[in-house]
Amino acid sequence: MTIDAFLKYLQYEKNYSTHTVFAYKRDVKQFIAFVEADACLFSPENIDGSDLRRWIVDLMDKGNTATTVNRKISSVKTFYKYLQMHQVVRVNPVTGIAGPKKPKPLPHFVKADEMDLLFDRVGFKDDFTGTRDRLIMDMLYSTGMRLSELQHLKLKDVDLGAGVVKVTGKRNKQRIIPLNKSLVCNLQSYLEKRKEILSNQKESLFVTLQGNEVYPKLIYRVVNKYLSMITTISKKSPHVLRHTFATVLLNKGADINVVKSLLGHANLSATEVYTHSTFDELTKIYKLAHPRA
C-alpha cells in the first residue's frame, strides 16, 4: 500500500525516529479517514487543495491548537511530496496551503501600583550600587527602552536641562525620550555617586564599581531582584519593564502612535499587542463600574 511505502521511506531513507514515523502515520491516516467520510475511497490523484482546507477547518472546530494543526498539515504535505517524487501524482495538490497562525502570547507586565510600591516603599541602599540599581529600574520603567539600549547609554546621551535622553535602538535608529521629574532626580543622585568612584571620566552612563560598562547579566540580576519583591509574575526580565511602560501609557489613554514612537517600533503591529492587555484592564473596570455589567 502507498502509505506503507511512505512510512518505510521515512524510517529507512530519512532515518526518522519510530515516534516521528508513528506521528506521520497517524496524521496521514486521519486525513485519509476525513476524505473517505465524504468519498467512498481515498484516491491520492483525486485530492485537491479544498480537501485539505476543509480538513483544517474541521480540526480547528474540534479544538485542536494551531501548533497541532500545522504539524498535521506538514505530515500531509510531506506525504504528497513523496507521492509526487514517485510519480504517483503529477501535481502536488497541497502546495501553498497555509495553516492557522499561532496566537501571539500576551506580554507580561507589572501593575502600576506595584511599580509605585517599588519606588515608594522598597528600600534601595544609599550607596553607589543602590543608587545605580534604582536608576536602572526607573530608567527601564519610565522610558521603555530595551536592555541593550540602556546598557550602551553614554553620558552625552542625557540632557538633564532639557529633560530628555537620546536612545540608539535597532539598526542604529535614534529616538528622543522625555524624562519625568522623578527620573531626573534619580539621575542627578546617581551622577553624584558616580563621580565619587570614578577618578577618570568614562563615557558609559551605567557602570560597575570598577568603572566598566554594565553588562546584560548584571541588569537582569538587578531587575529580577527588585521585581521579585513586588510581584509574583513568572517573568521578571528587563523586557517586562518595557511591556509595563507601554501598557501603563495605553491604560492612561496615551495615543498608540505616540507609544510606538517612544518604543522605537518600526511597525504599529508590534505596538498593538499591548492593546490586548489594555482591553482586558478596561473590561475589568467596566464590569466593576457599570451597574448593568
86 in active site: no
Q: How far apart are CA 73 and CA 39, in angstroms?
A: 20
Using alpha carbons only, give the angle 104, 115, 148 rounded to the nearest 5 degrees: 60
Using alpha carbons only, give the angle 223, 227, 233 rounded to the nearest 5 degrees: 120
In SS3 terms, 243-267 reads as HHHHHHHHHCCCCHHHHHHHHCCCC
Other beta carbons within 10 Å of 75: 21
Hey, what amino acid is at 118?
L
265 in active site: yes
Q: Could you tell me how far CA 115 lies from the centroid of its own chain?
A: 21
Q: How far apart are CA 22 and CA 120, in angstroms?
A: 58
170 in active site: yes
243 in active site: no
Which own/partner contact pairs does 258-266 have at CB distance under 8 Å and 24+ positions apart? 261/175, 262/143, 262/144, 262/175, 262/177, 263/144, 264/146, 264/149, 264/167, 264/169, 264/170, 264/173, 264/175, 266/170
Residue 191 CB contacts under 8 Å (≥ 6 apart), including other chains: none
Q: Which of 86, 170, 221, 225 is catalytic?
A: 170
Q: Which of 72, 242, 243, 260 is catalytic?
A: 242
Give strand ranges (E) for 147-277: 158-159, 164-168, 174-178
175 in active site: no
Give strand ranges (E) for the chain: 158-159, 164-168, 174-178
Q: Which of 132, 146, 194, 236 is catalytic?
A: 146
Please identify every residue annotated as catalytic.
146, 170, 239, 242, 265, 274
